[in-house]
Chains A and B, each alone.
Chain A
Amino acid sequence: MCVNNFNMNVIDEVIKASEELFLEDDVENGVLEQLKDLWITKLKNANDEGHSANGTDIIVKSVLSQLDGNETDSDDSNASSSSSNEMSVAEEEEAEQLDDTEESLNSDDDLSEENLEDTDNVVICQYNKITRNRSRWTLELKNGVMTLDNKEFIFNQARGYTTW
């Protein structure tokens, strides 16, 4: 099922079921329609930002250029941050030798854990079975919505393999 169809399906169902809720709450006529319009408009804007042509199923795409770009970016930032760490440590050591004072380790030196999990490529799903054999993991997933490279995909079943 195409992602666009899936989205419209969910939207239609939600709007239909909300009719009663809106009536119960004595909401003005037309607000429900407004909700639907707002929702669809925002969805379109989100998709356009992802520069996807038309939300079809998984498209064959050469992401090598993007992949390379991402890799160089992350490599550069890693290299520069590690070299700056090394430099500051070296500077501190020099200061110690010169001043005979000790620089204690601070919690500022810790790598923030939040940055490690920061990515726009997310898979929201349910798991059937997660298994591990030594360091080899098998992930059996279902009912997933994925946002990869600003494009949306959906799946009923997915199976993945990876190594820790």
Chain B
Amino acid sequence: MSYQLYRNTTLGHTLQESLDELIQYGQITPQLACKVLLQFDKSINQTLATRVRSRLTFKAGKLNTYRFCDNVWTFMLNDVEFREVQEIIKIDKVKIVACDGKNVEGEGPSKK
């Protein structure tokens, strides 16, 4: 069972909205929508793990809060600078939600 956390991305939200619309028009069942979302979890986890190659570093002026619960880390960072090769992005407030990357595919808990 793949992590469900990526449902909380733009890609995930747009899929859920689209599925909800189809359910509203009675074109698909909620159960089918659920299965599609599970497939989405699988596909996005796989694509991220295999097709993406970018590495980046970041530095944050301040770690405002941190939380570790149910093996999920949540951080609130201030004054963050993301750097990839020569490119920089500066953001003043960032939230990081991270699931355990060591137990993958079948062992990890499903997490929204």
* Interface residue ranges, A against B (CB under 8 Å): 1, 6-7, 9-11, 13-14, 17-18, 21-22, 25, 27-28, 31, 34-35, 38-39, 42-43, 46-47, 57-61, 63-64, 67, 70-71, 74, 116-117, 119, 121-128, 130, 137, 139, 141-149, 152-164
- Which of A7, A13, A124, A159 makes the CB contact (< 8 A) with B97? A124
* Interface residue ranges, B against A (CB under 8 Å): 3, 5-6, 8-11, 13-15, 17-19, 21-22, 27-29, 31-32, 35-36, 39-40, 42-49, 51-66, 68, 73-77, 80, 82, 84, 86-102, 104
A90 to B1, CA, bound (A): 57
Please give, as numbers and ranges, the residues of chain A lying within 8 Å of B21 by CB-CB distance.
38
Please give, as numbers and ranges, the residues of chain B lying within 8 Å of A137 by CB-CB distance.
63, 66
Beta-carbon contact of B27 and A13 below 8 Å: no
Shortest CB distance A62–B (Å): 9
Besides A57-B84, A119-B76, A149-B91, 11 more A-B contacts (Cβ < 8 Å) are A17-B43, A47-B10, A63-B89, A63-B90, A130-B68, A145-B48, A147-B9, A156-B53, A162-B62, A162-B63, A164-B63
Beta-carbon contact of B60 and A117 below 8 Å: no
Say yes or no: A162-B43 contact (C-beta < 8 A), given A34-B22, A58-B84.
no
Beta-carbon contact of A124 and B6 below 8 Å: yes
- Which of B28, B53, B66, B95 makes the CB contact (< 8 A) with A31? B28
Say yes or no: A13-B47 contact (C-beta < 8 A), given A27-B27, A119-B93.
yes
Shortest beta-carbon contacts, A-B, top 6: A126-B101, A162-B60, A38-B18, A42-B14, A127-B98, A143-B48
A137 to B88, CA, bound (A): 21
A64 to B10, CA, bound (A): 25
A157 to B53, CA, bound (A): 8
Say yes or no: A125-B96 contact (C-beta < 8 A), given A21-B36, A60-B87.
yes
Say yes or no: A21-B89 contact (C-beta < 8 A), given A7-B11, A125-B98, A141-B98.
no
Beta-carbon contact of A155 and B54 below 8 Å: yes
Please give, as numbers and ranges, the residues of chain B lying within 8 Å of A155 by CB-CB distance.
52, 54-56, 84
A147 to B13, CA, bound (A): 13
Please give, as numbers and ranges, the residues of chain A lying within 8 Å of B42 by CB-CB distance.
17
